[in-house]
Amino acid sequence: MQRIILLLIICNVFLCLKLKAQECNCSTNLDTLISDIENNYVGFNIKTKEEKAHDYKTLIKTLRAKSHNSDHYKCYLLLTEYANFFNDPHLKVLTTKLGPTNKYYDSLKIMFSKLAVEHINLDSIINYYHEHDTNNTLEGIWSLPEFNYKIVIVKTNTAERYKGIVIKADNFKWYKGQVKMVLSGKNPYNIQFYIADHTQRNAKALVENNTMNLGELGTWRKEQKGIQINSDKEDIIYFKYLSSQTSLLRIGSCDIRLRDTINEIIGKNWKEITGRNNLIIDIRNNTGGSIMTLDTLIRLFYIKPILTDGLYIKSSKENILLYTEALNNPEFNDKEKRNFQEVIDSLRAHLGEITLVSKPDSIVLNGTVNPKKIAIITNSRTGSAAELFTLYAKQSNKVIVVGEHTNGALDYTELGRNRNLPCPMWQYICPMGMSTHIYKPLIDNIGIIPDQKIPYNIDWIKWTQKYLEYDN
C-alpha cells in the first residue's frame, strides 16, 4: 500500500512538472501573445501597415525560431522584444506579482537570482561608508525604504561613471551584488536604471540635500551609519499656501482610487484656491490613471467649452470582458457605469471591428474667476491621463505649462487590467482604445513641450511662483 501511495505521489509530481513545463513553454507563450495582440490591440493595423508589415513578419519568424531554445528570463526578454516592436509606451510585458504560496514563486525567484552580479568585496565597501562621512556626496549608501532596497554607489575606473550595487533587496527579483543603476556625467546625472524585471530604463536625476529623485523610479535617500540623512517624504497629494498670491496643489497620481481624496482636499481649500490670483498644479512624476480622477480641477481653468476627441475601441471578446469587469468597480459612479454599458453594447454589435464608441464633443461647465493664472508643472515622467489633463488645460488662456516635456504615452489608451499569458509568471498590458485625434495631437514618445522650460538644477516650485508673481 505504501509503495502504491509513493508511486502515486511520484506520478503526481511528474505530472505537475509536465503541466508546469507546458504552461511556461516559450513558443506557446509567444504564440499566445502574438495572437492576443493581433486580436485586441487597437493600434495593430496602424503599426504593421505598408513598410512595417515586412518588418513585423520578419520579427515573428526570428522570435519563433529563438523561442524553441529560450526559457525563463531569455523567454521573458523575447516576449518583451515582441511588445517593443510596436513602440507603444502602454503596450508591455510584465512579470506577475506572485505570492510565496504560488507554485511558480520559486521558479520566478530562481530566474532572477541567476542574473549577473558584481564580483567585488561589498562587505569592506559597506563598512568603509558606515565609518566615513559621505554627507552631500554621490558615493555611499542609498536606500529606497518603501521597496526595502539599499544600494552602495561606487566610482568605476571610467571618469564620471558610477555603479549602484544592491546590498539589500527583496531577495525575490533582486539580490545582493546585482547592479541597480549606472550613473554618468555630472549632476544632474544620466542614469541607466534597471527596473523590477531587470530591463533598462533611462532617466535623469538631480542629487541634492542627500536625496536622489528619479521620479516614478523612486526617491532615493542617503544613509550615514544606517540612518537616513534626509528622511523628509513628500505626500502624493497635498495643498499648500505659498504666498498671499499663490497656492500649490500637488497631484502625484491619477489613480481612480484617489479621486475622493483629491476632491476632499480641493473642497476643503476651495475658498483659499479661488481667493488667490495664482495656482500651481504640480503633476511631475504623475504617470497617469484615469482622467476622471481630476474632474474637479477643470472648473479652475475653465473659460470656454473644452473640446474633446471621440474614441475608437477595438471590439473583441476579451476587450468586452474587461469593460464588463469595470461595471463591478466601486470606484466608478452610476453615470460612469451607464457609459461603460453603452460602450459594451456598441462593441457587441460590431465584434471584430474598430468601433467609434463616442463622437467628438465638448466639456461645458461653470468656471471660476480666480485663479487668474495657473501654471502646470510637468516633467518627463508625466504621462497618460496626466498628459490628457494637460492638453485639456492648454485650451484655456489661464494656463501655462512649465518644466520639461512630458513622457509621451497617450495615443493608445483604455488599458483595463493586466492580461494573463499561459505561464503564470508573465502578464501583458494592451491598449484597447485610441482617440479620433481631431483636437489631441499624436504625442507618443514625444510628449507635450512646455511653454517655459525650467533649468534642471533649480527649485521648480520657487521658479514657477516667481514667474507667476513677478515676471508677468
Tens digits of per-residue pLDDT, 147-198?
889 999 999 999 889 999 999 998 889 999 999 999 999 988 999 999 999 9
pTM for the model stands at 0.84
**Mean pLDDT value across residues 258-273:** 96
Of the ranges 17-26, 43-52, 95-104, 439-448, which one carries the lowest mean pLDDT score?
Answer: 17-26
Q: Three-class SS of residue 256?
A: helix
Residue 35 clears pLDDT 90, i.e. is over it: yes
What is the model's pLDDT at position 14?
39
Of the ranges 5-19, 65-79, 175-189, 351-365, which one carries the lowest mean pLDDT score?
Answer: 5-19
What is the model's pLDDT at position 128?
86
CATH architecture of 16-96: Up-down Bundle (1.20)
Q: What angle do CA 169, 170, 173 make, to 5 degrees?
A: 100
What is the model's pLDDT at position 361?
95
**Mean pLDDT value across residues 109-116:** 93
The CA distances from residue 310 to 47, 284, 314, 348, 440, in Å, are 20, 27, 14, 19, 10
Return the CATH fold of 122-228.
Answer: Lipocalin (2.40.128)
Q: Report the distance separating Cα 122 and Cα 133, nearest Å.
A: 18
What is the model's pLDDT at position 230?
63
pLDDT band at 463 (very low <50, low <70, confident <90, very high): very high
pLDDT band at 208 (very low <50, low <70, confident <90, very high): confident
CATH architecture of 237-469: Alpha-Beta Complex (3.90)
Tens digits of per-residue pLDDT, 366-410?
999 999 999 999 998 899 999 999 999 999 999 999 999 999 999
DSSP 400-466: EEEES------SEE---S-EE-SSTTEEEE---EEE--SSSPP-TTT-PPPSEE--TTS-HHHHHHH
Cβ pair 402, 375 in contact under 8 A: yes
Closest alpha carbon to 93 in 321, 319, 425: 425
Q: Which residues contact 334 (CB under 8 A, 6 or more apart)?
A: none
Q: What percent of the chain has pLDDT over 90?
A: 74
Q: Report the distance separating Cα 386 and Cα 392, nearest Å.
A: 10
Q: Report the distance separating Cα 18 and Cα 9, nearest Å.
A: 14
Of the ranges 159-163, 217-221, 418-422, which one carries the lowest mean pLDDT score?
Answer: 217-221
Residue 65 clears pLDDT 90, i.e. is over it: yes
The residues spanned by each domain of the chain are: 16-96, 122-228, 237-469
